[in-house]
């Protein structure tokens, strides 16, 4: 993995041609995350279908305000989780994202964590809606993510920024 201060070819490719960006209307799940240290935010939308008693991610799209690494991480994350069951998707970590991107500069590693958070949070949102049993770990994770998002959005609200659905 490269620790160069520059972005890899793969990062640039995903940044310039992000896969699956935009919004899913009537999404089955939305994961909203933010990083208060840099102000970046990521919205992850999922379409989830039930197949043989399993919940499978059929479609994933994102909207991201942030740096090139955040946009590339979002793009890669949507590709990785498409077709996975929610159990499988919960196991996807930022290491998988970094691997797919060919690494990120050290100061940009947190951008890939934001994408990991977004996956967790979208699935949490889905399980909540469906009334499924939420693992304790995911519940705890949600609380942390929520607190960080609130803090980030507080910054943007001071500017008067709004997202489409507010």
Site residues for another protein per CB under 8 A: 5-7, 12, 15-16, 18, 21-22, 37-43, 63-68, 71, 105, 107, 155-156, 158-164
Of 113, 4, 80, nearest to 12 (Cα)?
4
Residues near ligand FES, by CB under 6 A: 35, 38, 40, 66-67, 69-70, 108, 110-111, 114
Which of the choices another protein, ligand FES, none does residue 3 contact, using the CB cut-off of 5 to 8 A by kind?
A: none
Distance (Å) of CA 101 to CA 10, 41, 51, 96: 5, 19, 30, 9
Which of the choices ligand FES, another protein, none does residue 148 contact, using the CB cut-off of 5 to 8 A by kind?
A: none
The answer to whether 67 is a known catalytic residue is no
Q: What single-letter DSSP state applies at residue 1?
A: -
Q: Which one of 12, 24, 38, 67 is the catalytic residue?
A: 38
The answer to whether 38 is a known catalytic residue is yes
Distance (Å) of CA 37 to CA 109, 114, 152: 13, 12, 8
**Pair 46, 126: CB distance under 8 Å:** yes
For the beta carbon of residue 25, count every other beta carbon within 10 angstroms.
Answer: 6
> Taking the complex as a whole, how short is the minimal distance between the CB of residue 10 and another protein, in angstroms?
13
> Taking the complex as a whole, how short is the minimal distance between the CB of residue 42 and another protein, in angstroms?
8
Structure tokens at 62: 């994102």
Structure tokens at 113: 């964590």
Which of the choices another protein, ligand FES, none does residue 114 contact, using the CB cut-off of 5 to 8 A by kind?
A: ligand FES
User: Which residues are annotated as catalytic?
Assistant: 38, 111
């Amino acid at each position: 993995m490269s620790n160069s201060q520059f972005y890899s070819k793969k990062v640039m490719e995903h940044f310039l041609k992000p896969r699956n960006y935009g919004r899913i209307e009537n999404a089955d799940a939305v994961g909203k995350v933010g990083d208060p240290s840099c102000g970046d935010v990521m919205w992850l939308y999922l379409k989830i279908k039930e197949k043989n008693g399993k919940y499978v991610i059929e479609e994933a799209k994102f909207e991201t305000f942030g740096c090139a690494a955040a946009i590339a991480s979002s793009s890669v994350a949507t590709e990785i989780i498409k077709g996975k069951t929610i159990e499988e998707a919960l196991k996807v970590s930022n290491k998988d994202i970094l691997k797919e991107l060919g690494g990120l500069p050290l100061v940009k590693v947190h951008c890939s964590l934001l994408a990991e958070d977004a996956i967790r949070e979208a699935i949490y949102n889905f399980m909540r809606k469906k009334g499924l049993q939420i693992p304790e770990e995911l519940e705890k994770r949600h609380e942390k993510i929520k607190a960080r998002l609130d803090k980030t959005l507080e910054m943007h609200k001071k500017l008067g920024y709004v997202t489409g659905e507010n």
